[in-house]
Structure formats: structure tokens, C-alpha cells
Amino acid sequence: MPELPEVEAVSRRLREKAKGAEIRRARVLRPRTTYPQPASKVQRLAAGRTIETVERRGKHILIYLSGGVVLACHLRMTGNLYVIPDAGTRPLSTRLYLELADGRGIVLDDRRALGVVNAFPLAQAQTLMNKLGIEPLSAEFTPGRLIELAARSKMPAKVFLMDQRFISGLGNIYSAEALYRARIHPATPTNQIRPARLCRLHAAIVDVLNDAVKSAYIAYERPGQFREAERFPLAVYGREGDRCPVCHRRIRRLTQAGRSTYYCPGCQR
């Protein structure tokens, strides 16, 4: 599920519903969820504090609590984080929840249970987030910045885009979609892409993410629910064998860094 657009949608919805709420207590139902921290530490650090705000950094959701504590949440593959009306009535796949003073709950609902929640002092959260690459939807992400970053790596373009230390937030789907929009072959070594094409890639990244954020925000209108009708239209991802709408060649799949990459052999060179 979650790459930057979905995480942004989840984060916004959570902020709208839970900003200002007081956490009565926190319960970790699956100890591994707070790894490497003990569940007790997260429960203790969250209890009694007020949610000041909720922000996204890369694919992380940061819940800022009163007293300088941050809950850093990562949804990984199947996680979702949302407010439910009654903390006593939770989905089966709840791995951790925060019981709010008004009786509502915030749940980490995660079937595959790969999601993680840690509690950090503000400064430590800051340090960890500083290790992430540039925010692709921020003003600092410019064509020039992408050109600088690309010069530092000879990774295949797709692997580069997925590496959170360069740009944070792109995953398997939107990396492939951005490369398709930019007409760049996913295996091209990043430091060999010409500046003009990197400018095109920059625009493609920003456009695809902005489009997908809008779509994801609508799709997650109801907490914990995904509206199928609002699924973002994917040009190449998961479409092996389909015809490219532009050049009519069949979409191909290849494996890079253990993940599937989809691309159009006609458009992407």
C-alpha cells in the first residue's frame, strides 16, 4: 500500500481527526511492532500526552506529542493508521493502538505486521529523519538538485529512485511510473542520464506524486477504508503484457534489486 502519496493521505487524515487529542494510554498488542524498543517504553512515553500535530517525512508518519516526544510510525507493506470511534472495538489486525481521552482510538492496523512504531525524544527523531533524502514535494527539490544527486550514483535509475537516502518517499510503483512519464529506461546508470532528461525526470516525479496524493487523499476518505474507484491509474506498474497507450508496444517486467520493474521498451530508452 504505502508510498509517499498514501502515507501523506494517512498522515493528513490523522492530523485532521486527532490533532489536540489526549492519549490516555497506549497498548502494544504485538511486541515486535516497537522493535528494537521494548513495548513498555513506547507505552510509557505515549501515555498522558497530547497530540500536537502529525507530519510526514518520506514514508514515515511523525506524531508529535506534548513534552517533546515523537511517535515515529512506518506502515511498511500493509500498515494503516487511523482513528476509530471506540478504542474498545478494534480491527482484528490491530498491532498497536492509542486510547484517547474521549474514548476514540488510533490504531495501527497491519495484516502483515511489518509496520513499526517507535517513541523518540524530539532531537533523536530529528537525527533519524535527517538521514533521509530530500522531500520530492518540497521547494528544495529542484531540477538542479536532482542533477547533483544523480551525478553521485551509478545505480540503475529505478534503484536510485527507490533509495530513500537520495530522495525519500518513492517506492516500487511511483519510481516505475515516474520513469515511464520521463521516458527513461529503468536500467540507465543514474550518472549517465543527461541533464535535459533529468529535468524531465524531475517534473515527472513531482507530477506523478502530486497526482497520486490527490487520488490517495480521496481514496482514504473513510478511515481504514480504501475506495476502489479512486485507485490511481497506473500506466506501467503491474501491467506486464499490456499495450503502451503511446507506442502500443507491450509493457515488460524486469527484476532490479529483487523487485519487479515495469516499463515500456518503446518509450523508455
Partner DNA sequence: CTTACCCCCTGTCCGC
Partner DNA sequence: TGCGGACAGGGGGTAA
Residues near DNA (CB under 7 A) are: 1-3, 6, 32, 58-59, 74, 76-77, 111-114, 152-156, 159, 162, 164, 171-173, 238, 257-260
CB neighbour class for 248 (10 Å; exposed up to 12, middle 13-18, buried from 19): exposed
The least CB distance from residue 27 to DNA, in Å, is 18
Q: Which residues of 129-158 are buried (b: 16+ CB within 10 A; e: fewer)?
A: beebbbbbbeeebebeebbebbeebebbbb
Q: Is 2 a catalytic residue?
A: yes
Q: Is 259 a catalytic residue?
A: yes
Q: Out of 12, 24, 253, 259, which one is annotated catalytic?
A: 259
- Strand segments (E) across the chain: 23-28, 51-57, 60-65, 69-74, 79-84, 94-100, 105-110, 116-121, 252-256, 259-263
Secondary structure class of 178 (helix, strand, coil):
helix
The least CB distance from residue 188 to DNA, in Å, is 12
The least CB distance from residue 171 to DNA, in Å, is 2
Q: Out of 2, 5, 156, 223, which one is annotated catalytic?
A: 2
Of the two residues 32 and 250, which places its CB atom closer to DNA in the complex? 32
Secondary structure class of 2 (helix, strand, coil):
coil
Of the two residues 49 and 180, which places its CB atom closer to DNA in the complex? 180
The least CB distance from residue 160 to DNA, in Å, is 8
Of the two residues 100 and 220, which places its CB atom closer to DNA in the complex? 220
Q: Out of 13, 57, 59, 200, which one is annotated catalytic?
A: 59
Which amino acid type is present at position 201?
A: L
Catalytic residues: 2-3, 59, 259
